[in-house]
Amino acid sequence: MKYQIKHEIQGRLRLHILQKLSLTDLDKLYCSLSEKQFIKRCKVYAPTNDLMLEYTCDRKKILRLLTDLHTNDIIVSESSLAAVTASRELNDEYKSKLIRKTAAHAVNKIVLPPQLRIFILAVKTAHFVWKALRCLAKGKLEVPVLDATAITVSMLRRDYNTAGSVMFLLDIGEILEDWTHKKSVSDLAGSMSLNVGKVWLKTGEQSVLIDASDIKEGNEIIIRTGSMIPFDGVVTSGDAMVNQASLTGESTPVHKTTDSTVYAGTVVEEGELTVCVKNAVGSTRYEKIVSMIEDTEKLKSEAESKAEHLADRLVPYTFSGTLLVWLITRNITKALSVLMVDFSCALKLAMPVTVLSAIREANNYGITVKGGKFLEKLSLANTIVFDKTGTLTKAVPTVRKVVSFCDMSEDELLRCAACLEEHFPHSIANAVVRAAKDKNLIHEEMHTKVEYIVAHGIKSTIDGKTVLIGSYHFIFEDMGTAVPLGEEQKLLSISMEYSRLYMAIDEYLAAVICIEDPLREEAGKIVNELRDCGFTNIVMMTGDSKHTARSIAAQVGVDSFYAETLPEDKAGFILNEKAKGNTVVMVGDGINDSPALSSADVGIAISDGAAIAREIADITISEDNLWGIITIRRLSTAMMNRIQRNYRSILAINGGLIALGVAGIAPPTLTATIHNASTIGIGLMSTKKLL
């Protein structure tokens, strides 16, 4: 790519692209550069064909990247491109609206003759009056009635400047509110768009793992327990329970079988489906998410709802105050000063804008928040529960050794385990598959259908023999597996420092796969930071043995830990804490964490975990560390602090204006102008970064 550097400081470049690029090419360029880890921020200026980059790498590296980049060869996912294109088009649309509205107001005021200007103002007034009449027809005395009354009284008094200014500021405020809301929704939807890398393609009687981008309409794909359905399609075989909450809001899984329709972004909670792909384009998923977010009440925090209801409840008091001032003073100008100032507009604008700006800012840190109420709950939380594996420990556990309890070699046992485990996305399963790959052990589909039992293990058949893989509880207690005669001491001698995956063949223990589960480097610091952020009870829960759990708990410094827990145990603990009046956060990454994530006031998923965990969670952290938890806690606290400041500012400014109006110091025109200007000012201030 040919370019010219226009401006440069340390870690930041602004350059002009010499060849003229289409808007689509610019969107692709933005997507491609934004995906680079060493690029902190990227911004494209379409009108001037300019590009701004903030980077953390060596300057030569960034210049080499730009020089070697060929816009015709850029390949990005459909969902990412759809999100970027939608965001750009939205910004262009609302910038144009603001420019047209401001230009029209200036022309009306400066250029048009007085008679024509009055006629246009009368037409606009009729629009506000119609909205007020519709509101009254529903038996409601709310903000539209107040606005229409203020404008109509000004028109009747022939105070056209005041009427025009009020209508202009109300229109600008509405545009800004709508823009901020839709921009936040668009950014949120973009971050929630699908990012499915690999899928199982059915080829005859076998299935092969291929890139999702290679899937075409008419292909048949296999989706197993815990996996996200990446495309819209029709079930050709199988039987499963599918979580569709992200699209339909249904709280319970839906049964899907042959000829059922399934949708991209939903998750198989239990069972297995073969799906014929009907739509392999990622943009449809983005559009569905936008629709879902716009329609859902999840975005509404209690603070937003409170502000909205308070704004409407204050309208009768504003009317009463206006009437009272007129009765006392018999001065219509002073009475209008009260009417022109209300608390409603500022409350209705500032609070939602603050919440949606916080959601958007979280997205800039790689954190997806599915609704404002979850940020509000997070700011109040005093208890946090961590899963251990893949959360406090790294999401890349490693197989250290395989201990054989039969006549099969360690490599053969590892090959069999990998063959079964590769179907189920979890950190332990990934470790087994990775270990087999590192040893170049080819593990074709040599088993029958794999049955996954949540939080316990896997059951299948190989060469007519029943094969089980899972926890100690599943293998020995649930399935009644026996240790081969004379091998008891070997089992006892395995070091307790490892997490263990047990494998049984035909009711006898065949192998113990020892997995090292390294602690995240930041885990201890995170726990200390959480205490500084106000958490008073930090808990770790795991399905591992007490010995392993005690060791990790001591290193991290949690307040308490629970070992050998089942999914229902985690969910039960959270429900008990909530019953005590605590606000609880759950952090997890696996299929077995999903009941606890849904039970908590706020569920936080680590993005490398199972799809179902990300689906159910209220907040998802994309970074491969836990610092995002601290960031989102501080962001939620800052959001609530700003909301409280907004309340105080609105009360002080509008209360002061009413006092000045009643005292006869400020005429209605001035109080209306300052009131509307301060409302927009508070709204714009609410869009500023919180951290």
What's the rounded Cα separation, in Å, for the pair 334 and 469? 81
Residue 425 scores a pLDDT above 70: no
Query: What does the pLDDT average to over 538-560?
Result: 88
Residue 21 scores a pLDDT above 70: yes
Confidence of residue 338 (pLDDT cuts 50, 70, 90): confident
**0.75 exceeded by the pTM?**
no
Q: What is the pLDDT of residue 401?
A: 92
Instruction: Break the chain down into helix, strand, coil percent, rounded to 5.
Output: 50, 20, 25
Question: Around Cβ 218, how many Cβ atoms within 10 Å?
Answer: 10
What architecture is domain 367-394+519-622? Answer: 3-Layer(aba) Sandwich (3.40)
The answer to whether 166 and 152 have CB atoms below 8 angstroms apart is: no
Residue 217 scores a pLDDT above 60: yes
Q: What is the pLDDT of residue 455?
A: 54
pLDDT digits (tens, 9 = 90+) for 364-378: 788 888 778 899 999
Residue 7 scores a pLDDT above 80: yes
Token pair for 414: 């590892």
Query: What does the pLDDT average to over 391-401?
Result: 82
The answer to whether 669 and 159 have CB atoms below 8 angstroms apart is: yes
Written out in words, the top-level CATH class of the domain with range 198-281 is mainly beta
Confidence of residue 508 (pLDDT cuts 50, 70, 90): very high
pLDDT digits (tens, 9 = 90+) for 276-295: 988 765 445 545 555 545 54
Largest CA distance in the chain: 106
What architecture is domain 398-516? Answer: 3-Layer(aba) Sandwich (3.40)
What's the rounded Cα separation, in Å, for the pair 207 and 223? 11
Highest-confidence segment of 168-177, 183-192, 373-382: 373-382
Fold identical between 3-76 and 367-394+519-622? Answer: no
Q: What is the pLDDT of residue 639?
A: 93
Confidence of residue 511 (pLDDT cuts 50, 70, 90): very high
The answer to whether 150 and 47 have CB atoms below 8 angstroms apart is: no
Residue 108 scores a pLDDT above 90: no
SS3 252: coil
Percent of the chain having pLDDT more than 90? 21
Q: What is the pLDDT of residue 365?
A: 85
Residue 170 scores a pLDDT above 70: yes
Give the residue extent of every domain in the chain: 3-76, 91-190+298-355+638-685, 198-281, 367-394+519-622, 398-516
Residue 502 scores a pLDDT above 70: yes
Residue 588 scores a pLDDT above 60: yes
Backbone φ, ψ for residue 173 (5° rounding): -60, -40
Instruction: Pick 397 or 262 by higher pLDDT.
Output: 262
What's the rounded Cα separation, in Å, for the pair 566 and 600? 16
Q: What is the pLDDT of residue 196?
A: 52
Q: Distance from CA of residue 673 to its chain's centroid?
A: 38
Average pLDDT across the chain, whole number: 82
Confidence of residue 385 (pLDDT cuts 50, 70, 90): very high
Residue 333 scores a pLDDT above 70: yes
Q: What is the pLDDT of residue 302?
A: 66
Q: What is the pLDDT of residue 209?
A: 78
Residue 660 scores a pLDDT above 50: yes
The answer to whether 260 and 314 have CB atoms below 8 angstroms apart is: no
| CATH 2.40.10.10 assigned to 3-76 | no
Provide the strand spans (E) within 455-614. 457-462, 465-470, 499-505, 508-516, 537-541, 560-562, 584-588, 602-606
**Helices 668-685, 143-156: inter-axial angle, 10-degree rounding:** 140
Q: What is the pLDDT of residue 283?
A: 44
Range from 424-438, 441-455, 573-587 carrying the lowest mean pLDDT: 441-455
Q: What is the pLDDT of residue 607?
A: 66
Q: What is the pLDDT of residue 240?
A: 87
Confidence of residue 145 (pLDDT cuts 50, 70, 90): confident
